């Protein structure tokens, strides 16, 4: 009797296991595709401004992205080293860049910790940018948590139908007050476009370098940049890859100067890491010069 009962338990266990195996099912769900979309006039209920490729080429030389956008409505910018190359910051409708969603090809660029944007990490990216859209006002969740004051989206499409090579060199002279003017800014760039290959592929590559002494003392920058891109066209799909970066070294200039320094053409170029003033706020009693 015990043997029969044991066999029944084993048979029931095997049946349960087989039943569980039969009930295992694989469900194939349709993929979720997220397409970064730009606002369109008379279609999207948001205030925005666009810069197309031609407008970017007319305005851009070697300045950082915030400086180029300073001409747009409701935008203000400032530069730490004083000449718009290096650490720059942007405000939109009074909101600083930590409250703006900044994207490149729809990919968020805000730092995940403090939501700040380090524009110095994208030197000469504007040379490969075909379109910029600035949306003013709070954005939807698609643009990420920082999109309280607005959003900025850069689209990089440097490909051209016809092959070509571009070599560019720029030199900049800067005034430092009085009669002092010197050559302190340089840019070198080389880019190549493959054109359309076999009616299906296009390739693009660019190398660049920007150097500047800055306006303030010891606020120099040495910015290198690279951009590699490729695109493949299929009947129902277009595949693109973009690989870009900006190795850099620079002299920091993040501490402001005393207000009364602004009226002196020499003192206003000071770059202190720390300073103290007297009670009247008219004489600097202690200051530490920023290291080169």
Domains and CATH numbers, the chain: 47-155 (2.170.130.10), 164-250 (no CATH), 259-289 (no CATH)
pTM, two decimals, is: 0.80
Rounded CA separation 128/155 (Å): 9
* Average pLDDT along the chain: 84
202-228 tens-digit pLDDT: 999 999 999 999 999 999 999 999 999
> How many residues does this entry show for the chain?
292
Helix, strand, coil distribution of the chain in percent, nearest 5: 20, 40, 45
- Is 289 within 8 Å of 271 (Cβ atoms)? yes
How confident is the model at residue 196, as a pLDDT? 92
Exposure b/e, 151-178, CB count within 10 A at least 16 = b: bbbbbbbbbeeeeeeeeeeeebebebee
């Amino acid at each position: 009797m015990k043997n029969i009962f044991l066999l029944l338990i084993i048979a029931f266990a095997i049946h349960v296991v087989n039943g569980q195996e039969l009930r295992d099912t694989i469900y194939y769900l349709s993929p979720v595709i997220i397409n970064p979309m730009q606002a369109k006039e008379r279609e999207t209920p948001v205030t925005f401004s666009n810069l197309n490729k031609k407008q970017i080429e007319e305005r851009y030389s070697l300045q950082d992205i915030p400086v180029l956008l300073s001409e747009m409505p409701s935008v203000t910018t400032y530069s730490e080293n004083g000449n718009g190359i290096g650490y720059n910051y942007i405000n939109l409708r009074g909101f600083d860049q930590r409250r703006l969603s900044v994207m490149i090809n729809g990919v968020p660029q805000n730092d995940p910790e403090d939501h700040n944007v380090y524009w110095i990490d994208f030197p000469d990216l504007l040379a490969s940018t075909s379109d910029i859209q600035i949306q003013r006002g709070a954005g939807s969740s698609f643009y990420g948590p920082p999109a309280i004051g607005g959003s900025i989206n850069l689209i990089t499409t440097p490909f051209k139908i016809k092959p070509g090579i571009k070599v560019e060199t720029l030199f900049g002279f800067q005034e430092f007050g009085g009669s002092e003017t010197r050559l302190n800014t340089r840019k070198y760039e080389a880019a190549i476009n493959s054109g359309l290959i076999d009616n299906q592929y296009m390739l693009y590559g660019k190398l660049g370098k920007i150097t500047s002494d800055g306006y303030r003392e010891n606020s120099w920058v040495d910015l290198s940049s690279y951009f590699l891109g490729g695109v493949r066209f299929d009947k129902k799909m277009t595949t693109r890859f973009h690989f870009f970066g900006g190795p850099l070294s620079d002299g920091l200039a993040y501490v402001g100067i005393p207000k009364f320094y602004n009226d002196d053409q020499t003192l206003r170029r000071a770059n202190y890491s720390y300073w103290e003033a007297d009670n009247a706020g008219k004489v600097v009693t202690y200051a530490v010069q920023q290291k080169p």
